[in-house]
């Protein structure tokens, strides 16, 4: 099935928490990407305490909107804050840690602009990559397998940070997640609504814990319970 629509703007949402070593570079890369549609960049400073806020203040201009949370609330809360301000009819989530390369935006956009999909996920298991930590690899494979079993899908990378949406789909449900359970929540609700998720290979440069990797086994447990929860309750 094809979904031919004319999209005008991509809203790039960058949640950031204590990323002073990478935030300037990810913004530089995001600004440099040339697209066939216009774009806006929205950074949500989610209660950073390491100097990230000062860097964002210096970088802020007409190409960069910055939203500041007084205290850390989590990735899901940051995305929700950005969605209130976003003007685009396409929404892309971009992590601030340089694990994902903005040069891959074209790969994500092409299926939507060609009318092949309304939701596109990157997959870290089909492209050039620096492998993720073994514990994260195992956890991700398990959660992806569980997603496919529960929701009759064929995803290869449910937990991927690169997710692109036709905004109309996100407006069909309420995002409730505050933290990293954002990933399984939106995936579960999109699949429950009957949409197929298109996947494209992306590059990936995984970080070590000592480099600032924040997701932990506790987030994996929360993802597990989130997947099960939204399989049996209302998704509104």
Q: Would you state the pLDDT for residue 193?
A: 96
This prediction's pTM: 0.89
CA gap 143, 5 in Å, rounded: 33
pLDDT exceeds 90 at position 137: no
Residue 145 has φ and ψ, to the nearest 5°, of -60, -45
Which residues does 19 contact at the CB level (< 8 Å), separation at least 6? 26, 48, 50, 52, 96, 97, 212
Would you call 72 helix, strand, or coil by DSSP? coil
pLDDT exceeds 80 at position 175: yes
pLDDT band at 207 (very low <50, low <70, confident <90, very high): low
Mean pLDDT of 80-106: 95
Q: Are 230 and 187 in contact (CB under 8 A)?
A: no
Q: Comparing 10 with 97, which gets the higher pLDDT?
A: 10
pLDDT band at 124 (very low <50, low <70, confident <90, very high): confident
Q: How far is CA 194 from CA 121, 152, 185, 188, 225, in A?
A: 16, 10, 15, 10, 21
Q: Are 145 and 39 in contact (CB under 8 A)?
A: no
Q: Are 122 and 197 in contact (CB under 8 A)?
A: no
Q: Would you state the pLDDT for residue 210?
A: 47
Residue 149 parent element (H or E): helix 134-151
pLDDT band at 41 (very low <50, low <70, confident <90, very high): very high
Mean pLDDT of 163-185: 94
Which residues does 183 contact at the CB level (< 8 Å), separation at least 6? 158, 159, 160, 161, 163, 223
CA gap 166, 169 in Å, rounded: 6
pLDDT band at 139 (very low <50, low <70, confident <90, very high): confident
Domains of the chain with CATH codes:
9-232 (3.90.550.10)
Q: What percent of the chain has pLDDT over 70?
A: 89
Q: Would you state the pLDDT for residue 132?
A: 59
The mean pLDDT value of the chain amounts to 90
Mean pLDDT of 210-233: 78
pLDDT band at 212 (very low <50, low <70, confident <90, very high): very low
Q: Comparing 234 with 60, which gets the higher pLDDT?
A: 60
């Amino acid at each position: 099935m094809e979904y031919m629509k004319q999209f005008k703007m991509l809203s790039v949402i960058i949640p950031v928490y204590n990323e002073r070593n990478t935030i300037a570079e990810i913004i530089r890369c995001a600004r440099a990407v040339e697209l066939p549609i216009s774009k806006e960049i929205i950074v949500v400073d989610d209660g950073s305490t390491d100097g990230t806020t000062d860097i964002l203040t210096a970088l802020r201009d007409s190409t960069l909107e910055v939203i500041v949370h007084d205290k850390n609330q989590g990735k899901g809360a940051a995305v929700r804050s950005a969605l209130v301000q976003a003007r685009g009819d396409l929404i892309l989530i971009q992590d601030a840690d340089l694990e994902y390369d903005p040069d891959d935006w074209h790969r994500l956009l092409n299926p939507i602009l060609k009318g092949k999909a309304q939701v596109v996920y990157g997959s870290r298991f089909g492209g050039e990559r620096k492998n993720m930590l073994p514990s994260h690899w195992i956890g991700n494979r398990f959660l992806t397998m569980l997603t496919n079993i529960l929701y009759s899908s064929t995803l290869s990378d449910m937990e991927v940070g690169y997710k692109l949406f036709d905004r109309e789909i996100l407006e069909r449900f309420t995002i409730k997640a505050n933290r990293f359970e954002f990933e399984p929540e939106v995936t579960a609700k999109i699949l429950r609504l009957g949409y197929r998720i298109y996947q494209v290979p992306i590059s990936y440069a995984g970080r070590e814990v000592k480099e600032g990797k924040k997701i932990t086994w506790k987030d994996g447990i929360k993802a597990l319970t989130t997947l099960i929860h939204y399989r049996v309750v209302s998704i509104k």
